A and B are shown apart, each in its own frame.
Chain A
Amino acid sequence: MSSLFAQEVPLSWYLLLSAALFSLGVVGFLIKRNLITVFMSIELMLNGVNLSFVTFAQQWHAVKGQIFVFFVMMVAAAEAAVGLAIIIAVFRARATLAVDRIDLMKL
């Protein structure tokens, strides 16, 4: 073990990174106008959560956290497939991906 890595990265750093990723995702989800960016922000939130799962799995030497990460990635992949298909359908129908103009459900 080299001295550079002698000191372990403290738990809080991982968690802070995870929270930062999640928050960036939330903010992007809320403020971005392009539907694809919004979609990517969701992925960002998922990955932020994944990071805290693996962090805790490492910390407590519990494999459950890692299994959960696989589940999340699988759901995210499925979601990405369906979501992108919807986005393409929306784009074909409306010729735009601006979120505030996709408002057909408004009265």
Chain B
Amino acid sequence: MNAHLYLWLIPLLPFAGFLLNGILGRRLPKWLVTTVALLAPLAAFGVVLNAALGVFGIIPVTIISLPFTETCPLPWINAGLLHVNFSFVLDQLSLVMLLVVTGVGFLIHVYSVGYMGDDKGYARYFSYLNLFLFFMTVLVLAGNALVMFIGWEGVGLASYLLIGFWFQKKSAADAGKKAFIVNRIGDFGFLIGMFLLVANFGTLTFTEIATKLGQDPGWNGGVVTVIALCLMLGATGKSAQLPLYIWLPDAMEGPTPVSALIHAATMVTAGVYMVARTHVLFDHSPFALSVVAIIGAATAIFAATIALVQNDIKRVLAYSTISQLGYMFLGCGVAAYSAAIFHLMTHAFFKALLFMAAGSVIHAIGGEQDLRKMGGLRKKLPVTFWTMTAAVLAIAGFFPFAGFFSKDAILYVAFLQGTNGKILWFVGLLTALLTSFYMFRLWYLTFMGESRSPEVHPHESPWSMRGPLVILALLSVCGGWIGMERFGNFLAPSVGVLPTEAGNMRLEIILSIVAVLVALEGWLIADKLYRRKPARPAQYAAALPTGYKLLANKYYVDELYGAVVVKPLLGFSKFVLEWVVDFVILGGAAWLLGGIATFTGAILQRWQSGNLRSYAAWLAAGAAAVLLFLLVPWATVLAGLTAIHLGMAGH
């Protein structure tokens, strides 16, 4: 018998924190705000951990067989044939995801205490952060697509609120709007996908869809492809993939811990999670799978090239995030869902760490984000330096850091998928080279050499910030040691086994060595350009002005979208607002009402001539009419007329 897991507590605890700090936060003392804000995710993490210990059999009393479902006893939607319940599901997939979300989430909450300590909106910040955790855990726990959609939209809302947290700054407010609007496009795809699910399967519950797909081998391509592509559109919006990635770099306007939590570790991976959750649909549509793989690979290399030349430390990391998410989709696209989730997990560790270390740097040197003004921070910020080094090694894919295992698993599975798979593998490998290069570029520019802003006196961050850095650094080092095979076997009941039938141990080891060599090459190039010959980058940029400009301006995609989508849409909206709505509808209605009144008035005005004799004439005419009415025996007249009429009809 299954023990009670109290899954509903996982989202509800952060929600309580949100309500408390959101409503009363201004009036509560700061220590209480902090306590509430930290206890909520910690307690949620405790609940998850309790479940995890049960699942792994560490607490034998509460051995749990997965999947474990908790459904709200009250029905939620009963409309015709459609029945949707508010249900949470704990399986291997959501358990891993929950551990990451609440665990990393809690660490970032702790970090935020130090980072946001002096901000006026302290309570507001933590209430939003707790709200985000609420929606994110709903998204992860969702047992059907509609509950997932609630979380999906909710994290979008929290992301919007937190990107625009410093809404007095116009760029921050604009970035929030951009993120929200671009995500709408993706959400549109998700919604259409759900409608199609209801129309074709009559259910939104993931397990039921899987069952129905399994029963009938006829489900292949066709409508399944359309559904999968619609869901993928949703995923590209949320997870910042081509062509909807444009909001993520701008989202860096938010506070850095937010970038770490929402725009690196958790929310942006929701798209990957959703594809893994609905993987049966993708498995039945090879076309949709290859679309996912191509989008992932294209995004990975595309974003990596942009990251090469960015000078804002957070923007480099933002493009790096897009690129790494591309890896995850590449993994999904070759049906290596567990590898994608593995990379999601390790990425959550090292990317959150990278952002938080970057935040520590920014915090230390007084809000400066420009890499060109940093340098030489190695001695001043030792903890930040060493933790960031671990993260850089992890993301570059060096053995035995976390990123090595997960990235390698994705590339290995891609390599096994025939000729096209080899192309994907090569693109991934090239991306790994670029990744290693731009990460070490960032590392050199920030920590090595001499300070380029000698007037600044950096100071190491408080312990509330250093503690999470150290923990995440340990995870970035050790997070991959669980190994792809064990991790894949654990996830197999949820997302299927890795398609590695064609592979063997030797090939895997060779590919791993190649990947590490490529990463090493990236490091060496960065070392040459940014340590040994620091004048070279500028020379290269001058030698290739077109290429450099193209990258520095991010391929002009923002400008392209501005010209092709935003401008016509804005023009059309203005036309609708100013011409159709304002002039035709509102103006027309006012004009019509006024016109009717004027017209009637003009007619009735003749009556009220002010001329005494016309009044007199009307009076006389009225009297005459009354007389006529009273004196003429109308009944007789009518009867006579009828008789005549009938008489004529008789002839």
Cβ contact within 8 Å between B620 and A29: yes
Residues of chain B having any CB pair with chain A under 8 Å: 605, 608-613, 616-617, 620
User: Is A100 interfacial (CB-CB < 8 Å)?
Assistant: yes
- In the assembled complex, the CB of A86 is this many whole angstroms from the nearest CB of chain B, namely 12
Nearest residue in A to B613 (C-beta to C-beta)? A99
- In the assembled complex, the CB of B54 is this many whole angstroms from the nearest CB of chain A, namely 89
- In the assembled complex, the CB of A75 is this many whole angstroms from the nearest CB of chain B, namely 18
The contact of A107 among B605, B613, B616, B617, by CB within 8 Å, is: B605
- In the assembled complex, the CB of A73 is this many whole angstroms from the nearest CB of chain B, namely 22
Most chain A CB within 10 A, of B609, B613, B620, is at B613
Separation of A99 and B612 alpha carbons in the complex (Å) = 6
Nearest residue in B to A99 (C-beta to C-beta)? B612
Please give, as numbers and ranges, the residues of chain B lying within 8 Å of A102 by CB-CB distance: 612
Nearest residue in B to A102 (C-beta to C-beta)? B612
Chain B: interface secondary structure?
A: helix
Separation of A105 and B609 alpha carbons in the complex (Å) = 7
Task: Give 3 closest A-B pairs by Cβ, nearest first.
Answer: A106-B610, A105-B610, A103-B610
The contact of B610 among A31, A38, A104, by CB within 8 Å, is: A104
- In the assembled complex, the CB of A51 is this many whole angstroms from the nearest CB of chain B, namely 18
User: Is A26 interfacial (CB-CB < 8 Å)?
Assistant: yes
Cβ contact within 8 Å between B616 and A30: yes
Given contacts A107-B605, A107-B608, contact A26 B620 (CB under 8 A): yes
Number of interface residues of A (CB under 8 A): 13
Nearest residue in B to A42 (C-beta to C-beta)? B616
Cβ contact within 8 Å between A103 and B611: yes
Cβ contact within 8 Å between B616 and A103: no
The contact of B609 among A26, A30, A31, A106, by CB within 8 Å, is: A106
- In the assembled complex, the CB of A99 is this many whole angstroms from the nearest CB of chain B, namely 5
Cβ contact within 8 Å between B620 and A103: no
Please give, as numbers and ranges, the residues of chain B lying within 8 Å of A31 by CB-CB distance: 613
Binary interface profile of A, 32-67, with partner B (CB < 8 Å = 1, else 0)?
Answer: 000000100000000000000000000000000000
Most chain A CB within 10 A, of B608, B610, B612, is at B612
Nearest residue in B to A29 (C-beta to C-beta)? B616
- In the assembled complex, the CB of A32 is this many whole angstroms from the nearest CB of chain B, namely 9
Please give, as numbers and ranges, the residues of chain A lying within 8 Å of B608 by CB-CB distance: 105-107
The contact of B613 among A26, A30, A104, A106, by CB within 8 Å, is: A30
Separation of A105 and B605 alpha carbons in the complex (Å) = 11
The 28 listed contacts between A and B (C-beta, < 8 Å) are A26-B620, A29-B616, A29-B620, A30-B616, A30-B617, A30-B620, A31-B613, A38-B612, A38-B616, A99-B611, A99-B612, A99-B613, A100-B611, A100-B612, A102-B612, A103-B609, A103-B610, A103-B611, A103-B612, A104-B610, A105-B608, A105-B610, A106-B608, A106-B609, A106-B610, A107-B605, A107-B608, A107-B610
Cβ contact within 8 Å between B611 and A106: yes
Separation of A26 and B616 alpha carbons in the complex (Å) = 9
Binary interface profile of A, 91-107, with partner B (CB < 8 Å = 1, else 0)?
Answer: 00000000110111111
Please give, as numbers and ranges, the residues of chain B lying within 8 Å of A103 by CB-CB distance: 609-612
Separation of A30 and B613 alpha carbons in the complex (Å) = 6
Separation of A48 and B617 alpha carbons in the complex (Å) = 19
Please give, as numbers and ranges, the residues of chain A lying within 8 Å of B611 by CB-CB distance: 99-100, 103, 106
Separation of A29 and B621 alpha carbons in the complex (Å) = 13
Please give, as numbers and ranges, the residues of chain B lying within 8 Å of A29 by CB-CB distance: 616, 620
Separation of A100 and B616 alpha carbons in the complex (Å) = 12
- In the assembled complex, the CB of A18 is this many whole angstroms from the nearest CB of chain B, namely 15
- In the assembled complex, the CB of B438 is this many whole angstroms from the nearest CB of chain A, namely 81
Please give, as numbers and ranges, the residues of chain B lying within 8 Å of A104 by CB-CB distance: 610
Please give, as numbers and ranges, the residues of chain A lying within 8 Å of B613 by CB-CB distance: 30-31, 99-100
Nearest residue in A to B601 (C-beta to C-beta)? A107
Nearest residue in B to A105 (C-beta to C-beta)? B610
Binary interface profile of A, 1-44, with partner B (CB < 8 Å = 1, else 0)?
Answer: 00000000000000000000000001001110000001000000
Nearest residue in B to A106 (C-beta to C-beta)? B610
Separation of A15 and B608 alpha carbons in the complex (Å) = 36
Please give, as numbers and ranges, the residues of chain A lying within 8 Å of B616 by CB-CB distance: 29-30, 38
Separation of A103 and B611 alpha carbons in the complex (Å) = 5
List 12 additional contacts besides A99-B613, A106-B608; criterion CB under 8 Å.
Answer: A29-B616, A29-B620, A30-B620, A38-B616, A100-B611, A100-B613, A102-B612, A103-B612, A104-B610, A106-B611, A107-B605, A107-B608
Separation of A38 and B613 alpha carbons in the complex (Å) = 10
Separation of A12 and B605 alpha carbons in the complex (Å) = 44
Separation of A100 and B613 alpha carbons in the complex (Å) = 7
Separation of A46 and B610 alpha carbons in the complex (Å) = 25
Nearest residue in A to B617 (C-beta to C-beta)? A30
Please give, as numbers and ranges, the residues of chain B lying within 8 Å of A26 by CB-CB distance: 620
Separation of A100 and B615 alpha carbons in the complex (Å) = 11
- In the assembled complex, the CB of B616 is this many whole angstroms from the nearest CB of chain A, namely 6
Separation of A105 and B620 alpha carbons in the complex (Å) = 20
- In the assembled complex, the CB of B648 is this many whole angstroms from the nearest CB of chain A, namely 37
- In the assembled complex, the CB of B142 is this many whole angstroms from the nearest CB of chain A, namely 71
Separation of A33 and B125 alpha carbons in the complex (Å) = 87
Nearest residue in A to B605 (C-beta to C-beta)? A107
